[in-house]
Amino acid sequence: MTGVLVVTGAGRGIGAACARAAAKAGWKVAVNYARSRDAALAVVADIEREGGVAVAIEADVGRQDEVARLFADTDRLLGPATGLIANAGIGGTIAPIAEQSAATLEPLFATNVWGVMYCVGEATRRMSTRHGGPGGAIVVISSAAARLGGLPGMVAYAASKGAVDSMTVGLAKELGGDGIRINAIRPGLIETDIIAHAGGAAFLERMAPMIPIGRAGQPIEIGEAAAWLLSPAASYVHGAILDVSGGR
């Protein structure tokens, strides 16, 4: 199945890789970004250069009104979404729990948890056969942190991704009868801005020996997994949480 796909946080890193991989598979892609306009436009240009169709749409997924606008703009520019990769996420403030506060926690959960719920809600209104839609497929991006507890000072981030895992299991039961498949990917250590936030290249070098496969992952390795989960090849995969973590 291909059609119109919304990828949140698609200006860089895992989101950009997901957008590129899905476009190669034939999806028309709404490349969402919050602040990285130039990066999102570069992703669109890459997709168009390969003969694909894409548009860049600005929206902060932590705000319900902006998520509604993101999907409305997608309707207008590409057509109603039949696919969603809810990737947008932030690492939050790295600090012990005793130093966390509403000011550090609320933006984290607004993006990483509420944002996924808002996006899945908008996608469901368009995809659900109960609502007159054609069905569809959703992939949400979690993290291996959800089962490992997170890097030092990032327990809140891990908790936000644990919520994504729970959401995936529950929504699979809720949406399966509406013609919507939903699955999650738990990336391990991937070379992205979030890892840079946690320590960058030096940190990855220290961690590599602890990863059974012996290296950090690349964003495209998540992108290809997401494209597969959206595809007919994964037609009986529903409610799954796929670890793409090099064995960690």
**Distances 110 to 20, 117, 118, 215 between C-alpha atoms, Å:** 26, 10, 10, 31
- In the sheet that holds 54-58, the strands lie side by side as 54-58, 28-33, 4-7, 83-86, 136-141, 180-187, 241-244
Q: Say whether 147 sits in a helix, a strand or coil.
A: helix
Instruction: Estimate the share of the chain in helix, then strand, then coil, as percent rounded to the nearest 5.
Output: 55, 15, 30
Q: Say whether 63 sits in a helix, a strand or coil.
A: coil
Structure tokens at 57: 């749409």
| 136-141 vs 83-86, strand pairing mode | parallel
Q: What amino acid occupies position 116? A: V
Residue 33 among the catalytic residues: no
In this structure, how many other beta carbons lie within 10 angstroms of the beta carbon of residue 129?
13
The residue annotated as part of the active site, out of 33, 118, 157, 236, is: 157
Cα distance between residue 37 and residue 172, in whole Å: 33
Question: Catalytic residue numbers?
Answer: 157
